[in-house]
Amino acid sequence: MKFHIWILAALFSVPAFAAQQDLQLPPNLQQGQLVVGHAPRGVKIEYGGRRLRVGDDGVFVFGIDRDAPPQIKLHVRYSNGKGRDQLVAVAKREYHIERIEGLPQKTVKPDPETAKKIRAELARVSEAKHRDDAREDFLAGFRLPVEDARISGVFGSQRIDNGVPQSPHAGLDMAVPTGTPVHAPAAGVVSLADPDMILTGGTVLIDHGYGLSSALIHMSRLDVKTGDRIAAGQVIGLSGATGRASGPHVHWGFSWFDVRLDPALLSKPVAAANESGDP
Ligand SMILES: [Zn+2]
């Protein structure tokens, strides 16, 4: 399946209009999806134990976990003090099992010293993902970091690396030769840039605002540094096969804080949700 078909399909899904006091949410939500909604003025929203940021424009976001139940609950509190729960249906997805061989063994079964380094690196990544900036860079939508690439790995697959079961695959893999320019999927601020991490190799995290981050990993060269403000589509470095990779590809991971989401579900509905606006 080609990515542009998904984008076309997504373009036609416009958020449902509901009563003015209700939250506006896109229809047909599924596991692993980023949700961009609109709330009436003065509304407070909680989801998954977290108070959501609601912009002056009423925009709020949250992410639906890979393994979310068929129904999730948003708690809504209005400016008049009244509260209610809004139940939201979530479609279940089927995930693949992927077996990958030929990975560097230290990235699959690390020795104690390497394991310690990996834990320290993951802590830095987690810290970068927990920023909660008021910027709304995500509203302009997202593009693929590389054009015309074969999709070589999808979100959510159960991974068995060199025969060892691992966490599910948390991103979209695009097979491209080493040295292919990698573009920022959307504008943002570089929250972490490290040319040499054990699992992820050359790593760039981009904070798009509201707790949303892109991770571009396995890169052979980085052209940005932590703290850089970058534009949508800007080249942030070159692809490679660094870290836990069996061949050259770009892995695009996307998350809402530490909830990993499917980049293949990102596209124009984000902007459409914005344009629908509040009454
Ligand atoms: Zn990957």
**Residue 266 pLDDT greater than 90, yes or no:** yes
Say yes or no: 84 and 132 in one domain.
no
Say yes or no: 249 and 119 in one domain.
yes
| Domain contains 278 | no
Ligand 1 geometric centre to CA of 134 (Å): 29
Last residue of some domain: 47, 68, 93? 93
| Domain contains 229 | yes
Q: Which residues contact 141 (CB under 8 A, 6 or more apart)?
A: 186, 266, 267, 268, 270, 271
Beta bridge partners of 64: none
Ligand 1 geometric centre to CA of 204 (Å): 14
Last residue of some domain: 77, 93, 109? 93
The mean per-residue pLDDT over the stretch 97-121 comes to 91
Say yes or no: 29 and 148 in one domain.
no
Write the pLDDT tens digit of every residue in 44-82.
999 989 999 999 999 999 999 999 999 999 999 998 889
| Domain contains 258 | yes
**CATH number (domain holding residue 195):** 2.70.70.10
Q: What is the dihedral sign for C-alpha 175, 180, 185, 189?
A: positive
Ligand 1 geometric centre to CA of 10 (Å): 23
**Residue 13 pLDDT greater than 50, yes or no:** no
Give the β-pairing of 97-100 and 158-161.
parallel
| Domain contains 67 | yes
Ligand 1 geometric centre to CA of 162 (Å): 15
The structure tokens listed for 68 are: 């979310």
* CA–CA distance, 169 with 15 (Å, rounded to integer): 29
On whether the CB atoms of residues 221 and 202 are closer than 8 A, the answer is yes
**CATH number (domain holding residue 72):** 2.60.40
Last residue of some domain: 58, 93, 128? 93
Give the β-pairing of 150-153 and 171-175.
antiparallel
Give the chain's domain count.
Answer: 2
The side-by-side arrangement of strands in the sheet containing 44-47 is: 50-51, 44-47, 71-77, 83-89
Question: Quick check: pTM over 0.85?
Answer: yes
| Domain contains 271 | no
Ligand 1 geometric centre to CA of 253 (Å): 8
Say yes or no: 187 and 205 in one domain.
yes
Say yes or no: 167 and 29 in one domain.
no
| Domain contains 273 | no
Say yes or no: 88 and 109 in one domain.
no
| Domain contains 152 | yes
Host domain of residue 18: 3-93
Q: Which residues contact 15 (CB under 8 A, 6 or more apart)?
A: 24, 25, 26, 27, 37, 38, 269, 272, 273, 276
